[in-house]
Amino acid sequence: YYPGIMITDTMFSVDQILGNIPYINHHPVLFTFVLGIFVKLGILLGDINKGICFFTVFQMAIMSSIGVYLVDFLSKKGISKKLLYAVVGFFAINPVIAIHSVSIVKDVLFSGILIILVMQLFDLAESKGELLRDKGFIIKFVTLSFLLAFARNNGFYIVIATFAFVIIFYRSYFKRIIPVFSATVIIIAIIQGPIYT
């Protein structure tokens, strides 16, 4: 699949990188920016396809790392070794995941970020909300929320819905989380609204 599987959406991002069309967030600016680093590297090396290939390898490494992180997460939760082997096998031999990892489209990295956020939500539920007292957890949770919102347009709605559910389920932490969640939503809205415009 050298240099990677590209679809129409990806071509719009490449056109934005090359200056053929203006940047619009319909093709997320974050994705286009990261892809642009590799595209410009390819141009410097005399072949844009090399840059696309480097991006594909970069994306494959990230998705593999997320898969390893998920297996490690499950292992720490006490999941049996047989089930862990099944999960590793699922990631290793599933052709959909293999094709997904070499497809240059915003959805790939978005799905990886979403997997990590779901693990954070699991930890939060397991702690019965106690993790909301931990500044490190809040920073990680908000950082993942920013990445999710900027990785795909509908990511912002997922962030809002996630924050709403966390606030509803962990009302006793309302005073602690509402300022952080409100600031996060406002900052994302300002960046994706007036700043991008």
In this prediction, residue 47 carries a pLDDT of: 92
Instruction: Dump the DSSP string for 36-51.
Output: HHHHHHHHHTT-HHHH
pLDDT at position 10, please?
86
Residue 119 has pLDDT above 90, yes or no: yes
Tokens of 86: 């099944």
Of 4, 3, 31, 1, the closest CA to residue 17 belongs to 31
The band of 176, judged by pLDDT with boundaries at 50, 70 and 90, is confident
Which pairs from 38-45 meet CB under 8 Å and 24+ separation? Answer: 39/14
For 106, phi then psi, to 5°, come to -55, -30
Mean pLDDT of the chain: 90
Q: Which of 164, 163, 146 is nearest to 155 (CA)?
A: 146
For residue 25, pLDDT over 90 is answered with no
**Nearest C-alpha neighbor of 17 from the set 2, 38, 3, 1:** 38
pLDDT greater than 90 at residue 192? no
Question: Rounded mean pLDDT of 147-176?
Answer: 90
Residue 107 scores a pLDDT above 90: no
Mean pLDDT of 79-87: 91
Number of Cβ within 10 Å of residue 154's Cβ equals: 11
**Model confidence at 118: pLDDT above 90:** yes
